[in-house]
Each structure stands twice: as C-alpha cells, then as structure tokens.
C-alpha cells in the first residue's frame, strides 16, 4: 500500500512539473529580429541581399523580422519562404508516455534531441527534395501578435494543468488537409514533393512508431546510459541519430546512412565503406551519407577565431546545420548575418500532433520567425553536419572542407580533419570494433569534457 502511494505521488509530481514546464516554455513573447540592409544573409548555403537605393523606409515583414531601410521585397519574401520551409521541431506536450517513465512531455530536457531532429530533417530534405525546394504554403502561416500569443498561452496553461491532473488529452483539429493542399498544386512533381514533405515530418512524430521520433531516440540513448528526462549533449545526440538511421527499416531510408567523426577525425575509407554497404543484394548504388562532426570551438568559452570557419560552413548548400546553442539552451543554427547566427529555437511547447492521420496539420512544424544570436554567446560544444549524395560527392566535399580548414586554422591545429584510410589503421590503443562498444567509448571520451553539458533551465 505504501509503495502504491509513493507511485501516485511520483505520478502527481511528474504531472505538475509537466504542467509547469508547459507554461514556462509556452510563454514566448515575440520580439522582432533585426536584419541589416547592408550585409548579405546566408541560410544553409543560400545568399539573400536586402540592399536597395531608397534608404528612408522600414519594412516590417509578417515573420516578425524588421529589415533596416527599404529592401527588395521579393528577396525578403524569398528568404522568409526559405526559412519557414525548414522543418521546426520543438517541445511537445501530452504525447504518448515514454517507455519506462510517466513523462508525456520533453519540456525542460529534450532541446538537444529536438535540434538534432531538425538537423536530420534538413538532411532528409536535401536527400528527397533538394536544396531548391520550398514549401508552397510557407508564407500562409499565420503569425499572431504578442498580446494574443500571450493570452493564448495563459488559456493553454490552464487547460494543460487541468488535463494533466485529470489524465485527459486535448485534441487539436487539423487546419489544412492533405486533399486541400494537394489540390492546389499544378503538376505531379509538386504533388510528389508535398507527399515527401509530409512523410519526412511524420518520421519525427512524437509516438513510439515514428522512426526518428523522440521515443525512438530515447530508446537508442539508453545504450549510453541516458534515459527520458536526462540532458543529452550534442555529441551524444550525433551517435543517437546515427543509430536511429542505421536501425530504420523503412524502404525509402535504405539509401542513406550517417557517419560520426571520431575524435574530430573523418576517416574517408570508413565513410566510403558505409556508403557502399547494402542490406539488399540487388542494390548496387552507393548510399548518401550525413557526416556529423562533434567539435569544441574553444575551452570554457567559444573562441572567436572560429567565427569565419563557422560562417564558411553555413555558406555551403550541403551543410545541414549545426546542433549547438548557448549555455542553458540548445539551438539549431542554420545561417548568419555579419557576426550573428540565425537559428530555430526548440524551446516552445506545442500540443501533440498525431502524424499517423492522413491530413495532420503542418503549421506547427514550420517556424514563422527567425532568431539571431551573437556568435560570442555560442556554447563551444556543438555538432556540425554535412550531406553527401554519393561517394563522388563525398570526395568533393572532403576536398572543399579540407581547404576551408587549412585557411581558417592558419598556424593552429584544424578544428577537425579528413584522413585517408580506416580508423583501425590509426588506432594503436584500442581494438574496439562493435558499434555499441564504439558508442560507449565515445560516451566515455565525452565525459572528460565537463563543460560540454548545457545547464538545464
């Protein structure tokens, strides 16, 4: 009887904390993000210029951005559409409970898993849709003002708290159906793109069946001693993503894999081996690969000497972003202007969306407003990602990035390196060959860096 009472107290405590976090991370007062007209804006390899001759006006875009002085409106809209088209994955509430816990929300602890999901989602967009793709409905996302946003949050918290205590779940009605969306497209290619768009988002749904959903990622994290409610660092998340892609059995995911650099080194032969490995004997094409490189941009603080290299990386179209952030928070970095990084923030709690239904709503998976942060505020621990479509593409990418590393490192040791051969050819102290052992070894190495972990809010 006493044990049962303790369990009930724990469940009530979990529900109360969840309700509090839902309020805490929903209370987002919108602030305008200012972009200069004098400097180009880079977003995952795409460059946008806002400069124009008329310097006496301000343009307030619907996205919450403010462009100083008058701009070429078309270019602003192109930037907005491109940014909003990136897949945004945030805290969610009231999803099916995570196995082994009573948690039905990741508020307060899942931010790095979410930024990792965003990076992988961008890799899948490049793989299935290409960098030129944008969501046709991107500019139709409604972006309410701060007052209504805050008012909505208060109502949402009240309902969420009551529902948490009673065990009920609020259902949300889809606003844009698949049939309505598909009906607006003019050709089969656009319709096919939209099907893939929805399919990619569905793979990140918050349910045990979603291949890259939070539930699956936490399951793979257990191999490194992590559990639901723990904080996950950028490097650990890189290995979790690798395992998730390797274990995915969806037929359309058999043509892509993930390689995680070891000790800031990318071993070319290991990458090519992964690209040429095939589970099916009739498949002869080499796989695409997402290369993830966990790095530190300094000691306790980020070294500004790395700024130009980070900007160079985000200027590449095959870059899939950076899992990083600042102390206390993880962000998904996707671009920059001058010395400020452009990012998507997962620290906003949204309601659970059932992606298994045919016409699930898409709006909450796309961020209406970009944010900027000074590079100096960036936490030094991060994971950089690149996408290579095939072996030939990987060789080209490794050559290009190697040149960038040599230029940026000057007389210092480069941030990471590409070397020929296999890792086993260079490893004289370890005989580790098993994938799970490799995961554990990397986890042990990461524990040496006590400053890697962000502080939980």
Residues of the chain with pLDDT under 70: 1-31, 52-74, 142-186, 279-284, 410-412, 427-457
Q: What are phi and psi of 447, to 5 degrees?
A: -65, -15
Q: Can 197 be counted among the known catalytic residues?
A: no
pLDDT of residue 278: 74
pLDDT of residue 122: 98
- Which one, of 269, 302, 305, 262, lies nearest residue 435 by Cα? 262
pLDDT of residue 33: 84
Q: Can 347 be counted among the known catalytic residues?
A: yes
Going from N- to C-terminal start, the domains of the chain cover: 36-52+74-144+188-424
pLDDT of residue 357: 93
Tokens of 450: 């006590």
CB atoms within 10 A of CB 9: 10
- Which one, of 420, 395, 419, 436, lies nearest residue 289 by Cα? 395
CB atoms within 10 A of CB 147: 10
Name 271's Cβ contacts closer than 8 Å, sequence gap at least 6: 259, 289, 291, 394
How far does CA 11 lie from the centroid of its chain? 30
How far does CA 357 lie from the centroid of its chain? 23
- pLDDT of 168-212, one tens digit each? 443 343 344 555 555 556 678 889 999 999 999 999 999 999 999
Distance, first Cα to last Cα, the chain? 35
Name 125's Cβ contacts closer than 8 Å, sequence gap at least 6: 86, 87, 131, 133, 200
Q: What is the 3-state secondary structure (H, E, C) of the chain?
A: CHHHHHHHHHHHHHHHHHHHHHHHCCCCCCCCEEECCCCCEEECCEEECCCCCCCCCCEECCCCEEECCCCCHHHHHHHHHHHHHCECCCCEECCCCCCCCCCCCCCCCCHHHHHHHHHHHHHHHHHHCCCCCCCCCHHHCCCCCHHHHHHHHHHHHHHHHHHHHHCCCCCCCCCCCHHHHHHCCCCHHHHHHHHHHHHHHHCCCCCCCCCCCHHHHHHHHHHHCCCCCCCCCHHHHHHHHHHHHHHCCCHHHCCEEEEECECCEEEHHHHHHHHHCCCCCCCCCCCEEEEEEEEECECCCECHHHHHHHHHHHCCCCEEEEEEEECCEEEEEEEEECCEEEEECCCCCEECCCCCCCCCCCHHHECCCCEEEEHHHCCCEEEEEEEECCHHHHHHHHHHHHHHHHHHHCCCCCCCEEECCCHHHCCCCCCCCCHHHHHHHHHHHHCCCHHHCCCCC
Q: Which of 347, 367, 388, 442 is catalytic?
A: 347
Q: Can 345 be counted among the known catalytic residues?
A: yes
pTM equals: 0.82
pLDDT of residue 115: 98
Q: Which of 137, 345, 379, 442 is catalytic?
A: 345
Is the Cβ–Cβ distance between 367 and 84 less than 8 Å?
Answer: yes
Q: What are phi and psi of 335, to 5 degrees?
A: -175, -170
pLDDT of residue 75: 83
- pLDDT of 111-136, one tens digit each? 999 999 999 999 999 999 999 999 99
pLDDT of residue 408: 78
- Which one, of 376, 105, 383, lies nearest residue 234 by Cα? 383
CA dist 329 to 84, 111, 177, 386, Å? Answer: 21, 7, 34, 23
Tokens of 115: 């930024």
Return d(Cα 114, Cα 18) in angstroms, integer. 17
How far does CA 389 lie from the centroid of its chain? 20
Q: Which of 65, 106, 107, 111 is catalytic?
A: 111
Return d(Cα 244, Cα 204) in angstroms, integer. 11
Q: How many CA atoms are closer than 13 Å to the CA of 226, on its beta-carbon side?
A: 27
């Amino acid at each position: 009887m006493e044990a049962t009472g303790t369990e009930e107290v724990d469940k009530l405590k979990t529900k109360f904390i969840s309700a509090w976090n839902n309020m805490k991370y929903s209370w987002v007062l919108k602030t305008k993000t200012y972009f200069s007209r004098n400097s180009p804006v880079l977003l995952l390899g795409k460059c946008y210029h806002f400069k124009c001759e008329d310097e006496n006006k301000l343009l307030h875009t619907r996205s919450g951005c403010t462009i100083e002085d008058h701009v070429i409106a078309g270019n602003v809209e192109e930037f907005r559409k491109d940014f909003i088209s990136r897949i945004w994955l945030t805290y969610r509430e009231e999803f099916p409970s995570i196995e082994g816990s009573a948690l039905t929300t990741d508020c307060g602890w899942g931010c790095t898993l979410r930024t990792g999901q965003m990076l992988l989602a961008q890799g899948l967009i490049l793989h299935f849709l290409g960098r030129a793709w944008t969501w046709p409905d991107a500019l139709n996302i409604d972006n309410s003002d701060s007052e209504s946003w805050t008012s909505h949050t208060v109502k949402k918290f009240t309902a969420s708290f009551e529902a948490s205590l009673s065990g009920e779940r609020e259902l949300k009605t889809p606003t844009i159906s698949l049939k309505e969306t598909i009906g607006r497209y003019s050709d089969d290619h656009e319709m096919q793109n939209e099907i893939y768009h929805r399919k990619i988002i569905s793979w990140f749904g918050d349910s045990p069946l979603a291949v890259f959903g939070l539930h699956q990622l936490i399951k793979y994290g257990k191999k490194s001693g992590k559990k639901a409610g723990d904080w996950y660092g950028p490097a650990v998340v890189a290995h979790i993503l690798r395992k998730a892609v390797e274990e995915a059995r969806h037929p359309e995911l058999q043509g892509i894999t993930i390689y995680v650099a070891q000790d800031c080194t990318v071993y070319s032969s290991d990458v090519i081996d992964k690209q040429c490995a095939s589970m099916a004997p009739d498949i002869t094409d080499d796989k695409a690969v997402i290369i993830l490189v966990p790095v530190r941009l300094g000691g306790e603080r980020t070294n500004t000497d790395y700024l130009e290299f980070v900007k160079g990386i985000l200027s590449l179209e095959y870059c899939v972003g950076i899992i990083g952030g600042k102390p206390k928070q993880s962000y998904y970095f996707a671009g920059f202007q001058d010395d400020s990084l452009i990012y998507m923030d997962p620290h906003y709690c949204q309601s659970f969306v059932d992606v298994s239904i045919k016409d699930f709503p898409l709006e909450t998976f796309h961020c209406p407003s970009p944010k900027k942060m000074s590079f100096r505020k960036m936490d030094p621990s991060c994971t950089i990602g690149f996408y290579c479509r095939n072996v030939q593409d990987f060789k080209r990418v490794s050559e290009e990035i190697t040149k960038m590393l040599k230029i940026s490192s000057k007389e210092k040791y480069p941030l990471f390196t590409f070397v020929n051969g296999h890792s086993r050819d260079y490893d004289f102290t370890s005989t580790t060959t098993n994938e799970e052992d490799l995961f554990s070894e990397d986890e042990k190495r990461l524990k040496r860096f006590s400053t890697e972990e962000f502080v939980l809010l």
